[in-house]
Structures are given as C-alpha cells and as structure tokens.
Amino acid sequence: MKPIVKKIFAVMTIAVLAIPNLAMAENEIKNAIEIPDNLFVTLTFHDVRDDVAKTGDRDIYAISTKNLAQFFAWLQQEGWHPIRLQDVWQARQKKKSLPPKSVLLTFDDGAISSYTRVFPLLKQYNFPAVFAIPTSWINGNTKDAYEAYGENSLMKWDEMREMQQSGLTEFVSHSDNMHKGILANPQKNMQPAAITREYFPKLQKYESDQAYQKRVLRDLKKSKGILDFELGINTLGIFWPYGAVTKESEQLATKAGLPMSFSLGSMSTLADSGKTYQRALVMDNPTPEILRAQMEDFLTFARAPHKQRHSFVRFDLTEMTSPNNQIFDQKLGQFLDQVSALKTNIILLKSVADENGDGKIDVAYFPNRQLEMRQDLLNRTVWQARTRIGNNVYAELPISLETQQGFNLAKLTADLVKNNTHLEGLVIETGDEFLCAVQNKNWDNACSQKINQVFQIKERTKEQAKNYANISSNYQTALKISLKDKRMEGLKSLIEHSLTYSDFLYIEFDPVRHPEIFKAVKKQLEQLSNQQIQRLIFSFTVTPNATKREWKQYQYDYQTLKNLSVQKIGINNYKLNEGQKIQENLYQELSTNASPLTYRNPYERNLAKGAK
C-alpha cells in the first residue's frame, strides 16, 4: 500500500500498536501464552530506507534499514521461524504443521527498497519473505507509486526474477489496478476499489452486483496472469490493498485462482482455518523491542473486542436530512466535531425512520430494495466518522420491520452492509420482544418462541452482513433492550442464553427518572461473571433539561457501572443541539481520553462570541 493513499484509509485497519509493559519478563509472557498448533504471526512492512527519522518521518509506514536488520537478528537469536507462504498453504491442506513461533514476513507495493535493502538482508539471514505487487504499477501506472515513494521507486521485473530464483522470495498479487479509491457515494468520498460499489454521479446510481463482481474478478485474473507470466510462478495469494476484503471479494479471488487471502488486522491466524488471514501493519519505524512486544500482543490478545473499553454515542440520522449536500456536510461537520471533542469512540446511527408518524418505519438513509430511501446519508457519515475522528460505527435497525411490517430484515441488512462495508456492526432494536424474558426467570412457551424468533432473525442478518463487511473490521451484532420496569429476574438467564447467539446485549434506560430500574440492574450485575458483563452495553437515555442535581446523579450512575466492571457505556439519545450539555456534564464519564491536557471544548468559541 502506498503511504500517500493509505493515509486516507488507515483508520480502516486495525494495526497492532498497543505495547504491553516491556518490563515484563519474557519467560513470564511465554508461560502465559498457550499457542495452538499452526498459529503464525504475519508482519507487513513497506518501504525500507537508510534515512528514516526515529520519530515523525514523512512516511509513517517506512522502517529504517538498521531497525529491520536488528529485528532480523533478534528473530534469529530468539528462535523465531520465518516461514514461506507455501508453508501456510501446506498447513492449510493439513499436509504439514508449522513450527512453533512462526512468522510470515511480508512487504507491500513493490518498492525498489525491497530489492536494494530487503533482499540482501534476506540472503544474509537466509530468511524467506513474501512481496505483494500491484502489477499495473510495475507496468507503467506509476503516478500513485511515485507520489508515495518518489520517482523510479519501483522494482523491475528482472530484479524480481532474480529474487524469485534465489528461493527466498515469493510474490503475490496486490491487485492489478485496485490499489486506489473509487467514488463511493453522492458526496464524493473515495473508498477502496476492491470492496466498494462505485457510484456514478451522472446516472445517480451505484454499480450493480454483477458489474462489481465482473470488475473485481477481471482485475484479479489480470494480476495473477501477469505475475505468473513474468516470474514463471503459480501465485496463490492476494494481499488486499488497504486490507479491504469481504467474503464476497474473497470468493472472487478464489475464482481468479488466488485462494490465499490476506487482510490487515490484529488477529494471529491458524494456518489451517481456511479463511482470510490477518496481517499486522508495521508503523512508526519500530525498534526490535517494540516489534517483539507487538508480536506478543498479536499472540496474546488476539482481537478480543468484548474486553475492550467502548463509549457509545447513539444518534438519529433523521437530524442529518438536508435540502442539499452542502447543508448536510455542515451538519455532519458539526456532529463529528462535537463527538471528537467528547472523545467517545463508537457511534451508533439509527438508519431508518417513521417519517409520517404512524408508528411504522417507512424510510431509510441508505440504498435498499424494500424501503424508500429518503436521503443517501449513511455511507458518508460512516466513512467520515472513521477517517476524520477515528470512531467505529454501528447501524441500528428495528426488528419490528420483520415481525410487524413483514419486511425481510436479513435482506435489508445485506443492502445496508453491501453499501457500507466499513460498518463495525449492527444493533437490532428488539422492541417489546424481550420483555417477557427480562421480567421472568422462567419462560413460558410463548415467551420462548419470541426469544427464538429474535435469535433466528439475528443469525440471518449476521450471515448476510458478513458476506459484505470488511474482514479487516471486527463486525459485531448487538440486541437492544429498553428496560421498562424493575422486574428483571430473567436478565441473567437471557444473557446466558443470548451469548450463544449474539455478540452483545445493548441495554437502555434512564437511571435518574427510574432509579428503581437501576437498583435492579445493579443487583443483576452482581450475579454475573466478568465474561458476561463484558458482553453488555449500557446506554443511558439522558433527560436534556436535567437539573444540576440530576446531572450529578447521571455522573454517579455512570461511575457505578464502571465500578461494576462494565466496560461499554453510552448515551442513547445524543442530539446536535444538546451536545454542549453533554460535553459540560458528562465528559469525564463518557470520554475515553486519558489525558486532561488534550481536552478541547468546541463550544468555547460560541461562548466567547456571546460574551461580546
């Protein structure tokens, strides 16, 4: 991936950047890790230069020759086994097992440094490595590459042939000409070509499924054909540009003869899992010590989203409806600025609406085949939230669309995610379907049927969504419950039952208006294990005209949840014109910001104007 473009898409990736305490003894770490057979770490490098700055280099994806050489020396000293892609392929077919402490070294983009700096190091240490080549770049489509790395910065085929003949290098596709963004919505956002349905402004419509699949398949076949012809190989791998891959594109790659699919992410993968593998993105010119810590983090904390701290802001996209895109962008800019200052990290977007007020959903804010699209707002909101303020985004759909209105929620979810591949997940609002389960410890047949229907619908939506969601993201599903009263003897049973089917439960209520509900919630939480609590999201519906005393109560209640080990909290009814009250009264409770030095109040300018 070329750095100049990758800066646009970088927040899509889940690069391994968290560094455990380096003072922890290495043998203690090893003793704490039980590494399954065929588990391997994949590291992704880009350019290698002699003059990379220790910090703040112009290319955050470059590593210095010195640091890379020292890292290779450390790998050799500590008994790590650099493996070949062919080894992974053999293990995947259960023809061999990978050695313990296996690492796959990969280099993207075909930069000339792969030949002048990396290749000599591979020969010195007798290490194998894999190089991902965007074939159109090598064949003259050099504009993006030269912008990223400078003129004459790419390898030539003769140099790659020399590398291939050494037996130390393997070459895979990085696409032919999909290492770029294409138009993804009416507001002109550019998003990864491999997983985006292109938007055509003149026609005011999106690329069809058939046209998308034909375009991607043609590109992958061309890339493989060029690599195989030029290098005399039968390449089996596709390393997706920007790590952007869905199950749909994964299947297209298999049709093109590229069954080994690699995204980006933070999950070490079993070689015989038969799915797209994760690659850790190396950034900021790390030293061997930092790379060691990242690898151990990759093995130890392999993508456990239920253990991560999240702070949610739920927002109704109806507030974004506008007479034109310019006004929409103004509203969106205001919203993102307010959320960025609040320092929450998850946005939940209500993506459909009851426009005529008859109690039924009648419009959506994304292209679909069942509901009228009022405005095409979701895609740009999701993309801007991820790229501008680093927030992951969930969409919300009500289950009543299927249970009461007769729509197919799974098909609607397919349309939702197909045109919003970077969504982190879906929240299904369950209405009253779960009330009998929450209120009663023992469920009668009618209640059990309701619960099972919800779970079946949820599973169908997830199956559809995962065909189109970006594999580098961590797609999740949550079932949303609004608590009505203090009767919740069945909450523990529902949690135990739902964990089999759902990733999270999203629980919403107002603890100030209904303290009896909060008292009952606390009693239930005390009966749950830490693992069960980690699967819960608690979001308060806050009264915007709360008194000073009531704001203090909200603060206390949020803190009570944290003291009970709840790691996912939020506000259920965030509104643009009420953002200042939330900022002033709940910043410390909702913010994930650990440093008061970076606090920013976006409303100070307005206050100053008012004072004048």
Contacts of 530 (CB under 8 A, 6+ apart): 565
- Say which DSSP state 242 is in: G
- Distance (Å, whole) CA 100 – CA 79: 9
The total number of residues shown for the chain amounts to: 612
Strands 346-350 and 392-398, how do they pair? Answer: parallel
- Of the candidates 471, 387, 376, which has an alpha carbon nearest to the alpha carbon of residue 419? 376
As given in the structure block, the two tokens for residue 424 are 């982190």
Instruction: Write out the residue limits of the CATH 3.20.20.80 domain(s) in the chain.
Output: 310-611
Burial of residue 86, with CB atoms counted within 10 A of its CB: 0-12 exposed, 13-18 middle, 19 or more buried: middle
Give the closest residue to 395 by CA, choosing from 347, 353, 446, 438. Answer: 347
Cα 218 from Cα 143, distance rounded (Å): 22
21 CB burial (10 A radius; 0-12, 13-18, 19+) = exposed
Query: CB neighbours (10 Å) of residue 165?
Result: 11
- If residue 350 lies in a helix (H) or strand (E), which one and from where to where? strand 346-350
Are 87 and 170 a contacting pair, CB within 8 Å? Answer: no
One-letter amino acid identity for 356?
Answer: N
Q: What is the pTM of this model?
A: 0.89
H/E/C letters for each residue in 82-134? Answer: ECCHHHHHHHHCCCCCCCCCEEEEEEECCECHHHHHHHHHHHHHCCCEEEEEC
Nearest to 316 by CA among 359, 349, 355, 362: 349
> What region, left, alpha or beta, does residue 265 occupy, with left being phi > 0 and alpha being psi -120 to 50 degrees?
left
- Pick from 83, 137, 89, 128: which is nearest to 109 by CA? 137
Question: Pairing relation of β-strands 310-316 and 346-350?
Answer: parallel
Q: Give the residue among 385, 390, 354 at the shortest CA–CA distance from 372.
A: 354
Instruction: Dump pLDDT digits (tens) for 457-481.
Output: 999 999 999 899 998 877 899 999 9
Sites in the chain below the pLDDT cut of 70: 1-36, 266-274, 298-307, 605-612
> What is the H or E stretch that residue 479 is in?
strand 476-482
Q: What is the pLDDT of residue 36?
A: 61
> Residue 346 — φ and ψ, nearest 5°?
-130, 130
How far is the C-alpha of 443 from the C-alpha of 140, rounded, in Å? 67
CATH T-level topology, domain 310-611: TIM Barrel (3.20.20)
Give the tokens for residue 124: 């010195």
Q: Report how far apart, in Å, the C-alpha atoms of 369 and of each of 107, 373, 408, 457, 477 are.
A: 42, 9, 10, 18, 22
Where does CATH 3.20.20.370 sit in the chain?
3-21+39-170+237-248+259-300
Superfamily classification of domain 3-21+39-170+237-248+259-300: Glycoside hydrolase/deacetylase (3.20.20.370)
Q: What order do you get walking across the sheet with 372-373 strand by strand?
A: 352-353, 363-364, 372-373
Cβ-based neighbour number of residue 289 at 10 Å: 13
